[in-house]
Structure 1
Amino acid sequence: MKKILLVLSEWGYWGEELIGPLEACDAAGYDITFLTPTGKKPTPLSVSCSPGYIDPPLGRSVTSEEMAEKTRQVNESNRLDRPKNLASWIPQRPYPSSPTYLRDMEAYYMKLDKIVAEELGEYDALAIVGGSGAMIDLANNQRLHELILGFYKLNKPIAAECYGVACLAFARDFREKRSLIWGKHVTGHPIDYDYLDGTGFEGFHGIDGSNRGFGDGYINFGPPFYPLEFILRDAVGLDGAFIGNVGHQTSVLVDYPFITSRSTASSRECGRILVQVLEKGLTRYGW
């Protein structure tokens, strides 16, 4: 049985971007291990459970009754109750100001190498779910970057959806500091689809310790923190390409080992293509 490590934000994931790959992997008989940054149960964005919600850039609902119900069912089940804790698994890189920096870095790399050699081998692929929460605790999560590098070293498939693709842009060998997707063909949330207002975050977090956060658990940040398309264009370099496929209903690319998916409507295709990569050895798709 193949095993998939599936990463979710604790600040709000988009329901369909979980359901798409999850259903494909379930149908293929794969074993799923869920992973969150601190081991807390992830929260779906409420708009991804609301069919009446109109996506401003697209001017239409991007949440069907079917997907809203499936998201609610998964959230209310016990499947996501006890995800693997990234922070307790992957070490934190030492600060250069440490008085024992060189020894600390030696210990750091020894632990990482041990995890890659002895633990990552049990997984067949890594998948990163999108949604606005990914901007907060996944995109610049150094521990997640090291996990991505580990799967890359083992030549295992790495799938990312929507804002989850930012993790691939920022993942890089700390010594070389060049993006892991340099020279690759990727897709992701294009600037055409960026909100001018309403980029929301939800979860158990609250800066006052009440676990309520702003607005009883909902935070409206306005526009996204960053234009993902521009980041991806810069990350792939002159020999790579960002392909948004704006105007097409879906956009999923495979430039092995990476599988990238544009946004919500591409989620089912992303799951289907991930299975094809694992079962049929697909190495190129969509470009």
Structure 2
Amino acid sequence: MAKVLAVLSSGYADEENNYVTGWWAEELFAPVLALEEEGHIVGLATPEGGKPVVDPLSLTEDYDPDGKYKELYESGIADKTIPIVDVKASEFDAVFIVGGHGAMFDLAHHEDLHAILNIIHQNGGIIAAVCHGPAPLVFTKNKDGRPILEGLKVTGYPNDKEPEEVRGLLPFSLEDELRKIASYSDAPDEKEYIVWGSKQILTGRDPGSSELFGKELAKALTRREQEAEERFLD
């Protein structure tokens, strides 16, 4: 049983442009369901703690046609999060960054989150992010001052999928920033797409890749536990 930290945006609002965003429902709930099915435990953290703002679009029929994620959201299971500053990184075997445009605003440059990512990575844990979730990974540097993603194969939400109405409101292009330090790919012909950049770095392309992303992370953690048990028995 691994312990996993899920990190979400607290939310972002641009009143002048009537723009509200936050974390994307499917990108939290699909991986959490997969992780819990494998017996792993998931804790939630946000910059501000408390109840984070979900991107309202992610709960609409267009993106959640069966209402599955809306029902999970309304159950309140994502209402209580701890502030990132209070997270004890050494207690976690993995961390995954939930997507949604909010991640680009309050997670990308969050220094305490960068520190958590480095500690878990240095301890041999898994760093995972889906859709816009790689935003903070872009700006995370290791103890040698080099990007944690440097030279690795990665994916994330591509430029050509960004809605035209929000492009001018975003602080940066995720794809452009990833390309500066890593080998970016989005496999446009693949319905779902995830990438292992190393044994410790996993990224997923978009909301539709969330379930595959979660299952892959869950299975990887289970394999690690089994391998550790076998080494112990030997």
Fold shared per TM-score above 0.5? yes
SS in 1 for 2:164: coil
**1:223–1:195 distance in 2 versus 1, CA, 3 Å:** farther
Tell which deviates more after alignment, 42-51 or 266-275. Answer: 42-51
Q: Partner residue of 1:135?
A: 104
SS in 1 for 2:23: coil
Paired amino acid for 2:50: K
Q: Partner residue of 2:117?
A: 148
Q: Partner residue of 1:109?
A: none
Shift of 1:250: 1.6
CA–CA distance in structure 2, aligned partners of residues 31 and 261 of structure 1: 21
Which residues in structure 2 correspond to 1:1-287 (within 5 Å)? 1-11=1-11, 12-52=22-62, 63-66=63-66, 69-87=67-85, 89=86, 119-173=88-142, 176-198=144-166, 222-236=168-182, 241-255=183-197, 256-281=199-224
SS in 2 for 1:160: strand
Unaligned runs of 5+ in 2: 12-21, 225-234
Paired amino acid for 2:162: D
Q: Partner residue of 2:229?
A: none
CA–CA distance in structure 2, aligned partners of residues 82 and 64 of structure 1: 22
SS in 1 for 2:133: helix
Shift of 1:10: 0.9
Shift of 1:195: 2.1
CA–CA distance in structure 2, aligned partners of residues 47 and 227 of structure 1: 20
Shift of 1:254: 1.0
Deviations 1:62-107 (A, max 9, x none): x1323xx2322222223223211113x26xxxxxxxxxxxxxxxxx
Unaligned runs of 5+ in 1: 53-62, 91-118, 200-221, 282-287
Compute the RMSD of aligned alpha carbons.
1.7
Deviations 1:141-197 (A, max 9, x none): 111111101111101011101111011111013x64321111211001111112221
CA–CA distance in structure 2, aligned partners of residues 42 and 247 of structure 1: 33
Identity %: 31
Paired amino acid for 2:180: D
- The TM-score with structure 2 as length reference comes to 0.85
CA–CA distance in structure 2, aligned partners of residues 149 and 70 of structure 1: 34
Contact 1:194–1:223 (8 Å) recurs in 2? no
Deviations 1:8-30 (A, max 9, x none): 11111111111221110121121
CA–CA distance in structure 1, aligned partners of residues 25 and 79 of structure 2: 16
- The TM-score with structure 1 as length reference comes to 0.70
Q: Partner residue of 1:216?
A: none
CA–CA distance in structure 2, aligned partners of residues 121 and 167 of structure 1: 19
Shift of 1:121: 3.5
CA–CA distance in structure 1, aligned partners of residues 91 and 101 of structure 2: 30
CA–CA distance in structure 2, aligned partners of residues 122 and 176 of structure 1: 24
CA–CA distance in structure 1, aligned partners of residues 64 and 51 of structure 2: 24
Contact 1:139–1:170 (8 Å) recurs in 2? yes
Contact 1:194–1:227 (8 Å) recurs in 2? no
Deviations 1:242-261 (A, max 9, x none): 11112321210012211101
Paired amino acid for 1:42: P
CA–CA distance in structure 1, aligned partners of residues 195 and 161 of structure 2: 18
